[in-house]
């Protein structure tokens, strides 16, 4: 993990491009992050344009991990939830470039997302991940509790259905009542 810099991202054409290239790589490698393979560069970039615009509006925090200035991983902390869930946030779009996996970068991003969620007064995190080719064990190592599994929830990027697993984790102090 030496030399990896983690920081929040805001809208910029260069970042949308870098995030889009990473998304295409991850999807091509079978990563279940909401898209089908092949993903066009235009679609990938447009997706991140929207995500980074939402970050600029304060609806989410998009973290990027950089290795010597090159974007190698990202995760989103989604804060914009219904008014009756002000204590909750969601984790989404967690991905590490295939070339940089297994170095603890995603774990570091998750720890940073959790500490930012605590700073924002959030006490409950929720996420889902594909049962096949997703990352259930990764989240379990980070202390997330499995709620259950929904069968045939989504298509895998290269085809075929997979179940999804829903996880939660309490963070920070007690949930306000």
Ligand X SMILES: CC(C)(COP(=O)(O)OP(=O)(O)OC[C@H]1O[C@@H](n2cnc3c(N)ncnc32)[C@H](O)[C@@H]1OP(=O)(O)O)[C@@H](O)C(=O)NCCC(=O)NCCS
142's tokens = 């980070």
Under 8 Å between Cβ of 169 and 110? no
- Quote the CA–CA distance of 151 and 106 in Å, as a whole number: 26
**Contact range with ligand X by CB under 6 A, out of 4-12, 29-37, 42-50, 152-160:** 29-37
Size of the site for ligand X (CB under 6 A): 21
80's tokens = 């914009």
By C-beta, is 1 or 57 nearer to ligand X? 1
Q: Where are the alpha helices (DSSP H) in 29-161?
A: 41-56, 105-119, 136-141
Q: Where are the alpha helices (DSSP H) in 57-148?
A: 105-119, 136-141
By C-beta, is 13 or 104 nearer to ligand X? 104
Does residue number 6 form part of the binding site for ligand X (CB under 6 A)? no
Query: Which parts of 75-114 interact with ligand X (CB under 6 A)?
Result: 94-96, 101-107
Does residue number 126 form part of the binding site for ligand X (CB under 6 A)? no
Residues that bind ligand X (CB under 6 A): 26, 31-33, 73, 94-96, 101-107, 129, 134-135, 137-138, 141
């Amino acid at each position: 993990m030496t030399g990896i810099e983690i920081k929040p991202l805001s809208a910029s054409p260069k970042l949308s491009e870098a995030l889009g290239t990473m998304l295409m790589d991850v999807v091509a490698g079978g990563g279940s992050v909401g898209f089908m393979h092949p993903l066009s560069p235009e679609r990938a970039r447009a997706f991140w344009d929207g995500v980074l615009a939402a970050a600029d509006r304060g609806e989410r925090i998009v973290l990027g991990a950089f290795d010597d200035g090159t974007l190698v991983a990202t995760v989103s902390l989604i804060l914009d939830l219904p008014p009756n869930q002000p204590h909750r946030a969601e984790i989404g779009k967690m991905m590490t470039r295939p070339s940089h996996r297994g170095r603890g970068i995603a774990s570091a991003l998750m720890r940073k997302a959790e500490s930012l969620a605590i700073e924002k007064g959030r006490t409950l995190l929720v996420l889902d991940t594909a049962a096949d080719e997703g990352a259930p064990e990764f989240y379990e190592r980070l202390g997330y509790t499995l709620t259950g599994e929904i069968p045939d929830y989504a298509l895998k990027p290269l085809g075929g259905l997979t179940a999804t697993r829903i996880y939660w984790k309490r963070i920070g102090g007690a949930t306000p009542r």
